[in-house]
Amino acid sequence: MTQGIVSGLKDRSRYSLNRAVFTEKSAGKKSLFEHRLFEEGKQLAKAQTNAELPADVRPLEIPSFIGRKTIEIYQCTLEELCQPGERASEYEETAKLDAGNILLYKQRITWIGICVAEAKIQQTPAILSLESYDEIRERMVVPEIEKKVIGAALAIAVQYGLDRLEPVERFFSDIMRLTVCVEILYVGHRKASAKP
């Protein structure tokens, strides 16, 4: 998945920034990006986001702020990776890439977040007895693993010829923070599911 994410950033960096793909609304009140995201998202609606849940745990609803923050992080990264400017001839292709990238990030954040949290609960059931956000976060965050993920992402970025590594590093750091948010939400969800 890390390779796919870096590859998507590299592909998108070949195009102009094309802010209008995100900002200009059509008659249907959606931007070209929003339209593509909706259409392609329908194809993945039954994906296995919650496939790793135990049978007695209902699916986790992911709050909308995580999706909004993911798009914001992505747009900030594009500002640094892409050439500034608008090319209308590229709009369809960039909207397609943008929607595909965001859907991949959503899958990474939610699926990894749920799977990692569940694995940690199975390993240490006492996590479900923790009360404060900070206590749960401390159990969820493993700095050594985060460094490994970022290191792998940067190595792939170098291999793909991305000449700006700082935005890639920031991007992965931000995406991992959102993944931790899902992990913490999932712990709360599991605690609620365990109540009679």
Q: Are 97 and 5 in contact (CB under 8 A)?
A: no
Q: What is the pLDDT of residue 20?
A: 94
Tell me the per-residue pLDDT of 79-107, one tens digit each, with 9 for 90 and over: 999 999 999 999 999 999 999 999 999 98
Q: Are 159 and 3 in contact (CB under 8 A)?
A: no
pTM of the predicted model, to two decimals? 0.89
Give the C-alpha separation, 117 to 152, whole Å.
Answer: 22
Q: What is the pLDDT of residue 47?
A: 47
Q: What number of residues does the chain have?
A: 196
Burial class (CB in 10 A: 0-12, 13-18, 19+), 174: middle
Higher pLDDT, 41 or 87: 87
Tell me the per-residue pLDDT of 105-128, one tens digit each, with 9 for 90 and over: 998 999 889 989 999 999 999 999
Give the C-alpha separation, 56 to 21, whole Å.
Answer: 42
How confident is the model over 135-143, as a mean pLDDT? 91
Q: What is the pLDDT of residue 192?
A: 81
Sign of the dihedral defined by the CA atoms of residues 114, 118, 124, 126, in that order: positive
Give the C-alpha separation, 42 to 36, whole Å.
Answer: 10
Say whether domain 2-194 belongs to CATH 3.90.1200.10.
Answer: no
Where are the chain's structural domains? 2-194
Residue 53 has pLDDT above 70, yes or no: no
Give the C-alpha separation, 128 to 141, whole Å.
Answer: 16
